[in-house]
């Protein structure tokens, strides 16, 4: 059975020296390690150790074969999105990363598709760049759930959304740099565990109450990690929509209807929760993903999805067909 991994990340092998006059703050570098991995450094600090499959295509393809993945849609490591950087620095980072992704697609077009990125600190420039990404063969863009504190659902990004819809390209939202983390106790890793899923949920709710699909009827919107914590508040939000006219006035569809027009990946760490999302969002809304190429919750995609679907017949949709529709893939 064909498996399309809709959520996997890529990193450039190296980051060249920036042109004179460009702000170096936040510009990454890679330090090669003896075991084939690399240490990503940002502003003199180690961000993380990067597995070879992130930047070496042959290693990635071998790992895909081992995991039973026929086609992988790669997107930038979220830290590379750089929505918090100087706009010129973000543009240089986007140009480099988009080129790396386009080269991977060209080298293995039957196995690799890709999402690019934009310097969303400059929405007007970003909107103008969408056609360039389409010409590079990219299927859409990955964005953070907020751009330096501003919701990705903010109307200031409507120009970008309109261009994506015009080109039939996907918008994939990944939780990023949530606010309010001073109230979250424990190790810094808890930001990833709790904060990022909550920020994703806020982006989804904001897209719904601003009725994004009325403004951009052809827009294809997807969200990482099963939509974060949104599944837990869907019934609450749907109840409020039906009970309060002030909320109904902001959106023509109920939240329960709206989410069935979005896409959500299966990186949920739980078969039981994925079963709930299939029921809540609909079997046509789920796309499978590994969040790789690190070993994690999604490395047994076919078994994971099959167990969640049981005998309802949705497994082929979630493993491949839905992703083909979202990313406009030929499979």
Judge contact between 183 and 198, C-beta under 8 A: no
Per the domain annotation, does 266 fall within a domain? yes
Distances (CA, A) of 42 to 84, 85, 239: 13, 12, 45
CATH assignment at residue 148: 3.20.20.140
How far apart (Å, rounded) are the C-alpha atoms in residues 71 and 323?
10
Per the domain annotation, does 31 fall within a domain? no
* The dihedral sign for the CA sequence 292, 296, 299, 302: negative
Over the stretch 5-39, which tens digit does the pLDDT of each residue have? 999 999 999 999 998 999 999 999 999 999 999 99
Q: Interior CA angle at 63 toward 61 and 65, to 5°?
A: 70
Average pLDDT over residues 204-232: 97
Residue 46 has pLDDT above 80, yes or no: yes
Over the stretch 60-86, which tens digit does the pLDDT of each residue have? 999 999 999 999 999 999 999 999 999
Query: Quick one: pLDDT band at residue 234, thresholds 50, 70, 90?
Result: very high
Report if pTM > 0.75. yes
Residue 50 confidence (pLDDT): 95
Per the domain annotation, does 30 fall within a domain? no
Per the domain annotation, does 33 fall within a domain? no
Strand-strand pairing, 4-10 and 71-76: parallel
Per the domain annotation, does 20 fall within a domain? no
Own/partner contacts of 30-38, CB < 8 Å, gap of 24 or more, are 30/55, 38/13
Domain count, the chain: 1
Per the domain annotation, does 193 fall within a domain? yes
Over the stretch 152-164, which tens digit does the pLDDT of each residue have? 999 999 999 999 9
DSSP letter (8 states) at residue 53: G
Question: Chain-centre distance of CA 167, in angstroms?
Answer: 18
Question: Chain-centre distance of CA 147, in angstroms?
Answer: 14
Q: Say what percent of the chain tops pLDDT 90.
A: 95
Element (H, E) at 203: helix 196-209
Average pLDDT over residues 272-283: 97
DSSP letter (8 states) at residue 284: T
Q: Which two tokens stand for residue 31?
A: 């330090």
3-class state of residue 287 by DSSP = strand
How far apart (Å, rounded) are the C-alpha atoms in residues 151 and 157?
9
Average pLDDT over residues 2-6: 97
Query: Quick one: pLDDT band at residue 298, thresholds 50, 70, 90?
Result: low
Residue 52 confidence (pLDDT): 96
Per the domain annotation, does 39 fall within a domain? no
Query: Residue 96: which domain range?
Result: 4-12+53-327
Query: Quick one: pLDDT band at residue 1, thresholds 50, 70, 90?
Result: confident
Per the domain annotation, does 38 fall within a domain? no
């Amino acid at each position: 059975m064909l498996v399309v991994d809709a959520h996997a990340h890529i990193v450039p092998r190296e980051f060249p020296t920036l042109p004179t006059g460009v702000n170096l703050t936040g510009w990454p570098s890679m330090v090669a390690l003896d075991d084939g991995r690399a240490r990503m450094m940002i502003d003199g600090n180690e961000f993380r150790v990067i597995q070879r499959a992130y930047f070496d295509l042959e290693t990635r393809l071998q790992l895909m074969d081992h995991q039973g993945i026929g086609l992988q849609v790669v997107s930038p490591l979220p830290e590379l999105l750089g929505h918090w950087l100087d706009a010129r620095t973000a543009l240089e980072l986007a140009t480099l990363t988009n080129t790396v992704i386009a080269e991977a697609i060209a080298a293995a077009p039957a196995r690799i598709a890709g999402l690019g990125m934009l310097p969303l600190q400059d929405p007007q420039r970003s909107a103008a760049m969408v056609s360039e990404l389409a010409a590079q063969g990219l299927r859409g863009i990955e964005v953070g759930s907020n751009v330096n504190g501003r919701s990705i659902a903010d109307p200031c990004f409507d120009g970008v959304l309109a261009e994506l819809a015009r080109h039939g390209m996907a918008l994939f939202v990944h939780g990023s740099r949530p606010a309010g983390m001073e109230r979250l106790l424990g190790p810094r890793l808890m930001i990833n565990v709790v904060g990022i899923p909550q920020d994703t949920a806020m982006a989804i709710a904001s897209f719904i109450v601003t009725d994004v699909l009325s403004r951009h009827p052809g827009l294809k919107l997807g969200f990482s990690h099963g939509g974060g914590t949104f599944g837990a508040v869907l019934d609450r939000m749907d109840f409020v929509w039906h009970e309060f006219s002030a909320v109904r006035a902001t959106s023509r569809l109920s939240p329960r209807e709206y989410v069935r027009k979005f896409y959500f990946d299966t990186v949920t760490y739980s078969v039981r929760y994925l079963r709930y999302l299939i029921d809540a969002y609909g079997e046509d809304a789920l796309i499978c993903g590994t969040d790789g190429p690190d070993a994690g919750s999604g490395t047994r995609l076919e078994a994971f999805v099959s167990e969640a679907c049981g005998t309802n017949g949705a497994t082929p949709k979630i493993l491949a067909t839905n992703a083909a529709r979202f990313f406009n893939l030929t499979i």
